[in-house]
Amino acid sequence: MELNNAVKFLQGKTILITGATGFLAKVFVEKILRLQPNVNKLYLLVRASNNKSATQRLYDEIISTELFKILRNNWGSKFDDLISSRVKAVAGDISFENLGLNDSELREEMLKKIQIIVNVAASTNFGERYDDALGINTFGALNVLNFGKKCDEVKLFLHISTAYVGGEETGIILEKGENLKRRNDINIFEEKRLAEELLSQLQNQCIPDTAITSSMKEFGLERAKMNGWPNTYVFTKAMGEMLLGKFKGDLPLVIIRPTIIASTYKQPFPGWIEGVRTMDVVLVNYGKGKLTCFPGNLNSALDVIPVDMVVNAMVVAMEVHYAQHQYSSSMTEI
């Protein structure tokens, strides 16, 4: 896609972005503002008690980061005006119905104006508590979808998944969704019931919170491996995809499945990353001498992709699939 196509496409668009304080979402927001400052509005869903706290998190954890230095330098004294006019932090949580939006007036405004929904929110902890991972990665995705189906002008739901939803399959796994369809016998709502039942039992035993957390983490890994996935993260993300495919209705759905996301390659500048994440843990521990060996196949490809390449794919997917209601395919995957 030529740059001019993306610039033209983004002009005047109203977009909801979940997981806004996360690594990938920040790069996505910066990309849009740098590429097309005349986007109409970016609603950023942020976990916070109210919109004032959400706005504070917007500036403390997103706008003030080094990632925005190019944009800040380009706009100079007008940078704050750009942010205030184009970006709106919204207090909410995808674990709840209607995304936990308590501000009814703002919720109605969003329902009337949103044209594109980009669901980036996720718990990427491989050994997350099973109830928390289900709440965010599985049923959280469904909550975002259901909210999107209520939006008057919505024409695209873009969901960020992971390349590893295929689980512990062997051989070449094609990006056509068959690997998940073969496993549609999984009763996802039963998985939720089992998690809630165990949590209730543990709470009734009056054991410490740390012990409850440990048990819920172990249960998640147990359920994942029992069903053919290596960890709780990819298992709950796979179930999230299944729910989206089943309940999408007429809403155009695009799923992007990146591999291990690493630092920026080129844009807005090379090498930006936030914290120690994904494969960085291995590199840091090797550098400190704490990790002397790591099992692997020297002939295999390193499954890593720079975050700005993922963001570029997101923008391309939005431009290509926007307003394609006439297509009859149940799901498009990239």
Which residues are known catalytic residues? 233, 237
Three-state secondary structure readout of 116-132 = EEEECCCCCCCCCCHHH
CB burial string 180-204: b at 16+ within 10 A, e below: beebeebebeebbebbeebbeebee
State the Cα–Cα distance between residues 5 and 1, nearest whole angstrom: 7
CB atoms < 10 A from the CB of 274, how many? 16
Angle made by CA atoms 197, 201, 206, in degrees to the nearest 5: 150
Q: How far is CA 270 from CA 22, 73, 273, 286, 309, in A?
A: 19, 17, 9, 22, 12
Hey, which bits of 147-267 come out as E strands?
156-160, 253-256, 260-262
